[in-house]
Amino acid sequence: MRRRPQDGARSLTLPPCAFLPYHRTARVEPQSSFGVLVKVTGLVRPAGFLSSEDLPVLVEVRVCELRLDSDNKIGLVVLKETDGDRLLRIYIGEAEALAIAYHLESLSVARPLTHDLLCSVLQGLGGSLQRVVITKVEQRTYYAELLLQRNGEIIGLDARPSDSIALALRASADIFVEERLLDAATLEFSQDLDFSPAKDAAETTFGEATFDVQITSAEDLEERLRRLNPEDFGRFKP
């Protein structure tokens, strides 16, 4: 039975075409595989895209909180639905958390960071990041997909949520979460959230340590960047 969106949320059933913008809440096909592209109505789309009868609901979210556990070098990003109070917490690497925070604090750098470079490359190739979708969680690990547009083509790429969020913020792209993930991880929105990340997880749902450090200013972020070992960038794998 198809799930109904929350009261007050707008929904849109997308017809089988290659590309349409999402509304706040949109019904779309699960993007399980983007390896093979096929022609549809003159455009290019992933095989199997928008073909299932069981269409999940996507909910637009925004970054509402970012925290760091300096002892364990783990970050936490909290996503909050745009038109509601449901939250999704995702644990990420410290380097990835700082990459997100660097953009949120509008800090300038002499040389481009990795996510800035990726955005520049994509733009230079005539493409754009249209949206990010956090699609599933398996064995405590979240998965996301980037939807790129270039020359009338839609290209879907598997990605980590942390990289996806960092890119979406820089490209001013929308971030969506499948509603079932929000339903499974509903938390009361509070300024004093207490989280416990897993020490061995790059992007997970729960664990052991306690977050008690928040990024509260540009100065705080700069200090953390100074203390971060350059080898930490890239040590967290998908």
Considering the domain boundaries, does residue 185 fall inside one?
yes
pLDDT tens, residue order, the chain (238 aa): 444 444 443 333 323 322 323 323 333 333 433 333 322 223 333 444 444 445 678 999 999 988 887 777 888 999 999 988 899 999 998 888 888 988 888 887 788 888 999 999 999 999 999 999 999 999 889 999 999 999 888 999 999 999 999 999 999 999 999 998 988 876 433 333 444 443 333 454 433 333 334 555 556 655 655 565 544 443 333 3
- Distance between CA 117 and CA 99 in Å, rounded? 12
Considering the domain boundaries, does residue 11 fall inside one?
no
Considering the domain boundaries, does residue 37 fall inside one?
yes
- Per-residue model confidence (pLDDT) at position 178: 92
- Distance between CA 140 and CA 91 in Å, rounded? 10
Considering the domain boundaries, does residue 54 fall inside one?
yes
- Per-residue model confidence (pLDDT) at position 220: 63
Q: Under 8 Å CB-to-CB from 84, ≥6 apart: which residues? A: 6, 9, 59
Considering the domain boundaries, does residue 183 fall inside one?
yes
Q: Could you tell me the residue range of the domain that residue 157 belongs to?
A: 25-228
Considering the domain boundaries, does residue 4 fall inside one?
no
The CATH number of residue 93's host domain is: 3.10.690.10
Give the chain's domain count: 1
- Per-residue model confidence (pLDDT) at position 157: 93
| Angle made by CA atoms 19, 27, 1, in degrees to the nearest 5 | 145
Considering the domain boundaries, does residue 83 fall inside one?
yes
Residues making up the chain, counted from first to last:
238
Considering the domain boundaries, does residue 14 fall inside one?
no
